[in-house]
Amino acid sequence: MDAIKHYTQAPLPFIGQKRRFLTDFKTILNQCIADDGDGWTIVDVFGGSGLLAHTAKCSKPQAHIIYNDFDGYAICLQNIKYTNHLRKIIFDLTQHVSRNHKLPENVKNQVQAALKSFDGFVDIHSVASWLLFSGRQATNLMDLLSNHTYFNCVRISDYPSADDYLCGLDITSKSYADLLSEFLERDKVLFLFDPPYVCTAQGAYRNETYFGMVEFLKLMRLVRPPFIFFSSTRSEFLDYLDLVIGYKLDGWEQFAGYRKINVQVCLNKNAHYEDNLVYKF
Ligand SMILES: C[S@@+](CC[C@H](N)C(=O)[O-])C[C@H]1O[C@@H](n2cnc3c(N)ncnc32)[C@H](O)[C@@H]1O
């Protein structure tokens, strides 16, 4: 295969993509899997934007990489031309409004009319990133049209096409439990776990089911090494692991001796937080 272009962020907006973690992720990947990954399978169980699967493919080009595209992100990538067309329409309608200012009612009405009449694929998360403030999300077009205040955060330029971004990945779309049942008994399989963070808003994701505490506990019954697990300090993940290991709760052996990397995430000059990458080989 030709050398793959290495993306350091997902080509289209995706809340929760792990772009700030890529350096540490690659370091851990190299510790777990030698050379080019020949003979290995890497399963990106909560694939989201595919950024981890893509990065794994760049680092370990001979490995078989499964990207679990639960949200249909690959379809959004295939339809970038519609997203760019819609962006241009909305940009033209809003360009006289100051950046990041609220849209006046008449402009909002024009934008909504354009959204309703648009004859093509609508990538709701991209559209939301142009009109809603500070990472707010809409679950679908109906929601975007009914419940929100609009601002002018419209992207100034088109998204570049990203035909090669998912190149070499094996794309599937399954709930994590079904996917894991296919791989848990196999050797030389590394699992990447980046589930929705419990106790946080999940409006950006496919949302028939909220990924809550019970789902998290079900997932933890399936986790086994080698794995890399992304965790938020806000979800008390490390405290949970220490509890399981300390009291030797069911399955504690899967986590005993885990290692972690602290990742400082800087959102802006006032907002920092710390997350962890937990791993065991
Ligand atoms: C934090 S995001 C993953 C972000 C990803 N690592 C990235 O870099 O873009 C969590 C993902 O898990 C997905 N998800 C939610 N419930 C799921 C389930 N039952 N099975 C598989 N994936 C699920 C969400 O839709 C979302 O795409």
Per-residue model confidence as pLDDT tens for the chain (281 residues): 566 799 999 999 998 899 999 999 999 999 999 999 999 999 999 999 999 999 999 999 999 999 999 999 999 999 999 999 999 999 999 999 999 999 999 999 999 999 999 999 999 999 999 999 877 889 899 999 997 999 999 999 999 999 999 999 999 999 999 999 999 999 999 999 999 987 655 555 665 567 888 999 999 999 999 999 998 777 789 999 999 999 999 999 999 999 999 888 776 777 777 889 999 99
Decide: 207 and 57 in contact? Cβ < 8 Å. no
Q: What is the CATH number of domain 19-74+173-280?
A: 3.40.50
18 lines ligand 1 (CB under 6 A): yes
46 lines ligand 1 (CB under 6 A): yes
Q: What is the pLDDT, as a whole number, of residue 209?
A: 65
Number of helices (H) and strands (E), helices first, in the chain? 10, 7
Cα separation, 117 vs 114, whole angstroms: 5
- Ligand 1: distance of its center to the CA of 71 in Å? 7
52 lines ligand 1 (CB under 6 A): yes
Pocket test for ligand 1, best of 211, 213, 220, 230 (most atoms within 8 A of CB): 211
- Ligand 1: distance of its center to the CA of 72 in Å? 11
For residue 28, the surrounding DSSP H or E stretch is helix 22-32
- Which ligand 1 atom is at minimum distance from the Cα of 175? 20
With CA atoms as reference, report the closest residue to 190 among 1, 5, 52: 52
Cα separation, 188 vs 60, whole angstroms: 13
Residue ranges per domain, the chain? 19-74+173-280, 78-146
- Is-above-0.85 flag for pTM? yes
For residue 242, the surrounding DSSP H or E stretch is helix 237-246
Handedness of CA 53, 54, 59, 60 (dihedral sign): positive
- Ligand 1: distance of its center to the CA of 70 in Å? 7
Cα–Cα distances in angstroms (integers) from residue 183 to residues 42, 60, 165, in the given order = 10, 19, 24
Q: What is the pLDDT, as a whole number, of residue 223?
A: 97
